[in-house]
A and B are shown apart, each in its own frame.
Chain A
Amino acid sequence: MTATSDAMPTRRQAVAGLAIATGGATLAIATLSLAIVDHESLPWKQLDGSTLPGLSLEWTYVLRLGLATLSTVVACAIAGLIVWRQPRNAFTWTFAAFAVAYALNNFTVQYAIHGLNVVPDSLPLADTAARYQLFAGVLLLTCAVSAVLLFPDGRLRSARWAVAIVLLVLLQLGDVALNTDSPYFMIIGYAGRQGVPVTSLPDWRALGQALGWLRQDMFPFVPGTALFWGNNILAVLVGAAVLLRLRSASGEARLQLKWFAYAVTFAAIAFLVNRSDWFAAILFADRPPVRQEVADVLHPIALWADQVFNVSLGLLMPLTVGIAIMRYRLYDIDLVISRTIMYAGIAAFVTLCYGVTVAAVGNLVGETAGMGPVVTLIAIAVIALLLEPVRARLNAFANLAVYGKRANPYEILSDFARSVGQSESADVLLPRMAQLVRDGAGAALVEVWVRVGERLRLAAASPASPAAETLADPNDIAARAGPTGTVVPVFHENEQLGALVVRKPRGEHLTPMEVRLVSDLASQAGLVFGRFRLFEELRESRARIIAAQDEERRRIERDLHDGAQQRFVNAMLNVGMAQAIAGPMSETSDLLQHAAREMQAGLSELRDLARGIHPPLLTESGLHAAVASLADRSPIETSVVGVPDRRYAEPVEVTAYFVVAEALANAAKHSHASSIKIRIEEEAGRLRVEVSDDGVGGVDSRRGSGLVGLRDRTAAIGGSLNVESPGGHGTVVRAELPCG
């Protein structure tokens, strides 16, 4: 099953989810406790490369410890949540494995440091915990890559990706095997890097030596950086996989992937920045002085980028996965992306500006003691001056990148004016208008409300909304628009005909230019609104007339039944008794018999009349029984197919019934058909009624009041009726009635 199956979570799934979340939290807290205990004896203080530039050793330690604990708790909590809610998804379990492996990894590191370095021989299995580090990387990487490839529905895009995963595991295992010399110091790092003495198992040692020999003697040409490049290529491949899926996905899956891609992109950029000093080192390998200078600049950036990478993997990734899988605020992704682009741009701009100003001022003035604060002030002034225009440009750029190209307002206006001029129907124009406003104003939602009678009717929306909504009080429109929405009234000849509701993405408001555009569109829309209102009012009044007509027919039928018909029956009863008294073979008896026959015929005619006015069976038992009864009474052989055995709204049942009745009556009178087929089916909220015969055809549906009246009736309830009757090829009467 896919992620879309929101089956009711069972108790077992809830327990599993809770176990993962609490297990992860417990491991994280145990790790944290051990780390706090160990921080007094910090033999790793001497080790270089673990202090973040700009921070003291202690603060680096606190930062790393905090981030690691937080991300472990978050990842395991989210894993637990999705195990509970989406247990049928293969992705869920891959991700849960990743989260658990991550928590276990952090814990074993601290456990090994404590048990081997801080208080030797104080903890059991400390050696094993250190050895686990050899495999932790393989496990984590495998789970992470598999999770990415399985996201979001738990299915691989193709079997080839499974091969890639297997290759990855083999590559990693090979690397592990190469590193199993013993005894050896293993450099492991969690909050800080540490060398721990590890004793390898004898078997591993033999394997490691054999592989080491194999490697040195048989494949000396394999460069030492093979694994490094392998990992880089892997990162690119995984990114490509996400992008490929994103390209072909649609709907909610696309949004889910977008969230994920967001986190992946974030991590990928951090990863590349982190490796920038490596790239630089390779690039300037033959010019040591330049290499050194570049490395001095890049090294601190790379160290921080490493932290960002850890945060994006440990915090951002689980959070976006949680959002995507749980579909919570799924639709906010575009806003998040555009904001990220904008703020990242501002950050880069401020950094660049500061660097350039400092360098320029430094060059001009020369490095004079005491100029530092002045240079900083100048830099701040420059940034302050340029910030707002740059922010606006960046915002525009971010919107362009995320929401796509927006049409030029003048094009939008002239397009719309042309459509109105061509007097297309309001059904086409209003949705187009909503679409145009949404594109033109970069809105998240646009609704077109038209005043019909005393109420406001939702005539169109973009994105399209299927619900037919009505506001009884036009003043409620402001509440409907919400705090982020703008209401633009539409006037025509000083009468308010409706309003547009425009809602921007969260945190944005309509710019003055966008307000102008919307108002200009609104001022042109008056005619269309008027047309829509007339149409709606006509339809409503027709529906009211039909409803009143039906009510009247039902009343007449009831009156006939309880009145005239009953009187006939009573009279017949008396005539019958009189006949019995008179006895057979008398003149009186003959007269009474004659009277009884006349009454019988009159009653029969009354009965047919009543049935034609309103069929009681339809009210009692619904369309299924009533159509069957019509077919039974038809003088031509009539078969019935379909006819859902459920009740519909009365106007729908009555209309469908009379379409069939009229078609049967016409066929009986004119068609000379030998058989008739009635087919009634419900499909996507429409009831399709079809009556076809094999007669002579040639029916002109514009003549004959029966069909014309029925066409009006179907139109009044929003349906359609058409008659196909080519001469000599039978007649088909089709009606389509909304029955949702």
Chain B
Amino acid sequence: MRVTIADDSVLFREGLARLLEGAGFEVIGRAGNGTQLLDLVDADPPDIVITDIRMPPTNTTEGLQTAATIRERHPSVAVLLLSQYVETTHALRLLERGADRIGYLLKDRVSDVHDFVETVRRVASGGSAIDPEVVAQLVVRRRHRDLVGDLTEREREVLKLMAEGRSNSAIGDALSLSPKTVEGHVHSIFQKLQLEPADEDHRRVLAVLTYLRA
């Protein structure tokens, strides 16, 4: 799998490249800001771009804008955004045009190498990844308004993992449940929240997030 990385910290960029190469990825480009990243992607589109949000020159939301441009110009290139902090507002804006091939995570998540690499693979092959902190905020807001109250504690956990973009088997691994049981919980959640069933994982993410955001 071919990856292009953008981050203004050289140390982090190189560390991330080493991590990914160790996991069998081919790092084909390294950029220090949004413009460089766009040039690299235009010249040789990778399978996935991993980019920081806050980069020079304005040090605000370069990564978000670049991600939007990449998704427009190269719909087949997946984008994973990393940031020192996550905001629900940014997440919802990112998902405006669908949840496939998109990821939004705290930079901290790189410390769990195994999970991070899995996430990169998932996003690169058409899935999505939403940071647990974003999901937690949305769920809290929803719970205030008593709209996830009908769910059992276990179902709520499944809902959160679903919203993060994880597959049934990943949810099963995380919660030590059999795939059958997970499927049962997912079915029950969709029924209780009266959501249209969605087959693909990234459509499921969008359905759940749309519900949580409403």
Task: Identify the A interface with B (CB < 8 A).
Answer: 558, 561-562, 565-566, 569-570, 572-577, 579-580, 596, 599-600, 603-604, 607, 610-611, 616-617, 619-621, 625, 628-629, 631-633, 635-638, 675
Q: In the complex, what distance in Å separates the CA atom of A610 from the CA atom of B85?
A: 10
Interface residues of B in 7-27 (CB under 8 A from A): 9, 11-12, 15-16, 18-19, 22
B9 to A, closest residue via Cβ = A566
Q: A580-B22, A633-B137, A637-B145 are in contact. Are A573 and B85 (CB under 8 A)?
A: no
Are A616 and B54 interface neighbours, CB within 8 A? yes
B59 to A, closest residue via Cβ = A558
Taking the complex as formed, is B108 at the interface, i.e. its CB lies under 8 A from any CB of chain A? yes
Q: A628-B89, A629-B88 are in contact. Are A577 and B19 (CB under 8 A)?
A: yes
Taking the complex as formed, is B68 at the interface, i.e. its CB lies under 8 A from any CB of chain A? no
Taking the complex as formed, is B61 at the interface, i.e. its CB lies under 8 A from any CB of chain A? yes
Residues of chain B lying within 8 A (CB to CB) of residue A570: 9, 11-12, 15
Are A569 and B113 interface neighbours, CB within 8 A? no
Contact of B16 among A573, A607, A637 (CB under 8 A): A573
Q: In the complex, what distance in Å separates the CA atom of A607 from the CA atom of B133?
A: 13
Residues of chain A lying within 8 A (CB to CB) of residue B85: 607, 610-611, 616
Residues of chain B lying within 8 A (CB to CB) of residue A631: 141
User: Beyond A575-B111, A576-B110, A580-B22: 10 further Cβ-contacts under 8 Å?
Assistant: A572-B110, A576-B111, A576-B113, A596-B111, A596-B112, A603-B108, A607-B84, A611-B85, A616-B60, A617-B87
Contact of A574 among B15, B112, B137, B138 (CB under 8 A): B15
Are B19 and A576 interface neighbours, CB within 8 A? yes
Q: In the complex, what distance in Å separates the CA atom of A565 from the CA atom of B145?
A: 34
Taking the complex as formed, is B154 at the interface, i.e. its CB lies under 8 A from any CB of chain A? no
In the assembled complex, the CB of B62 is this many whole angstroms from the nearest CB of chain A, namely: 10
In the assembled complex, the CB of A722 is this many whole angstroms from the nearest CB of chain B, namely: 28
A621 to B, closest residue via Cβ = B89
Are B108 and A625 interface neighbours, CB within 8 A? no
Q: In the complex, what distance in Å separates the CA atom of A619 from the CA atom of B145?
A: 30
Residues of chain A lying within 8 A (CB to CB) of residue B114: 580
Q: In the complex, what distance in Å separates the CA atom of A620 from the CA atom of B55?
A: 13
Residues of chain B lying within 8 A (CB to CB) of residue A561: 54, 84
Residues of chain B lying within 8 A (CB to CB) of residue A566: 9, 11-12, 84
In the assembled complex, the CB of A475 is this many whole angstroms from the nearest CB of chain B, namely: 42
In the assembled complex, the CB of A64 is this many whole angstroms from the nearest CB of chain B, namely: 78
Q: A573-B19, A617-B87 are in contact. Are A632 and B12 (CB under 8 A)?
A: no
| Across the A-B interface, the 3 shortest Cβ-Cβ residue pairs | A637-B144, A572-B111, A576-B111
Q: In the complex, what distance in Å separates the CA atom of A600 from the CA atom of B112?
A: 11
A606 to B, closest residue via Cβ = B84
**A-B interface pairs (CB < 8 A), number:** 86
Taking the complex as formed, is B107 at the interface, i.e. its CB lies under 8 A from any CB of chain A? yes
A568 to B, closest residue via Cβ = B108
Q: In the complex, what distance in Å separates the CA atom of A629 from the CA atom of B144?
A: 15
Residues of chain A lying within 8 A (CB to CB) of residue B211: none
Q: In the complex, what distance in Å separates the CA atom of A574 from the CA atom of B9?
A: 15
Count of B interface residues, CB-CB < 8 Å: 31
Taking the complex as formed, is B190 at the interface, i.e. its CB lies under 8 A from any CB of chain A? no
Return the CB mask of B92-122 against A: 1 if under 8 Å, else 0.
Answer: 0000000000000001101111101000000
Residues of chain B lying within 8 A (CB to CB) of residue A607: 84-85
Q: In the complex, what distance in Å separates the CA atom of A675 from the CA atom of B144?
A: 9
In the assembled complex, the CB of A677 is this many whole angstroms from the nearest CB of chain B, namely: 12
Interface residues of B in 114-146 (CB under 8 A from A): 114, 116, 137-138, 140-141, 144-145
Are A569 and B87 interface neighbours, CB within 8 A? no
Contact of A632 among B15, B60, B88, B112 (CB under 8 A): B88
Q: In the complex, what distance in Å separates the CA atom of A463 from the CA atom of B141?
A: 53
Residues of chain A lying within 8 A (CB to CB) of residue B111: 572-573, 575-576, 579, 596, 599-600
Are A617 and B89 interface neighbours, CB within 8 A? yes
Are A573 and B60 interface neighbours, CB within 8 A? no
In the assembled complex, the CB of B106 is this many whole angstroms from the nearest CB of chain A, namely: 9
Q: In the complex, what distance in Å separates the CA atom of A561 from the CA atom of B56?
A: 13
Residues of chain A lying within 8 A (CB to CB) of residue B144: 636-638, 675
In the assembled complex, the CB of A558 is this many whole angstroms from the nearest CB of chain B, namely: 7
B117 to A, closest residue via Cβ = A580
Q: A572-B110, A576-B19, A577-B18 are in contact. Are A565 and B137 (CB under 8 A)?
A: no
Q: In the complex, what distance in Å separates the CA atom of A596 from the CA atom of B110?
A: 11
Interface residues of B in 72-100 (CB under 8 A from A): 84-85, 87-89
Q: In the complex, what distance in Å separates the CA atom of A603 from the CA atom of B111?
A: 12
In the assembled complex, the CB of A439 is this many whole angstroms from the nearest CB of chain B, namely: 55
Q: In the complex, what distance in Å separates the CA atom of A637 from the CA atom of B144?
A: 5
Q: In the complex, what distance in Å separates the CA atom of A574 from the CA atom of B18?
A: 10
Most buried by A among B85, B137, B144: B85
Residues of chain A lying within 8 A (CB to CB) of residue B19: 573, 576-577
Residues of chain B lying within 8 A (CB to CB) of residue A596: 111-112
Q: In the complex, what distance in Å separates the CA atom of A607 from the CA atom of B112?
A: 19
Are B108 and A600 interface neighbours, CB within 8 A? yes
Residues of chain A lying within 8 A (CB to CB) of residue B108: 569, 572, 600, 603-604
Residues of chain B lying within 8 A (CB to CB) of residue A637: 144-145
Q: In the complex, what distance in Å separates the CA atom of A572 from the CA atom of B11?
A: 12
Residues of chain A lying within 8 A (CB to CB) of residue B11: 566, 570
Q: A603-B108, A617-B89 are in contact. Are A632 and B59 (CB under 8 A)?
A: no
In the assembled complex, the CB of A551 is this many whole angstroms from the nearest CB of chain B, namely: 15
Residues of chain A lying within 8 A (CB to CB) of residue B59: 558
Residues of chain B lying within 8 A (CB to CB) of residue A573: 12, 15-16, 19, 110-111
Residues of chain B lying within 8 A (CB to CB) of residue A600: 108, 111
In the assembled complex, the CB of B36 is this many whole angstroms from the nearest CB of chain A, namely: 18
In the assembled complex, the CB of B79 is this many whole angstroms from the nearest CB of chain A, namely: 19
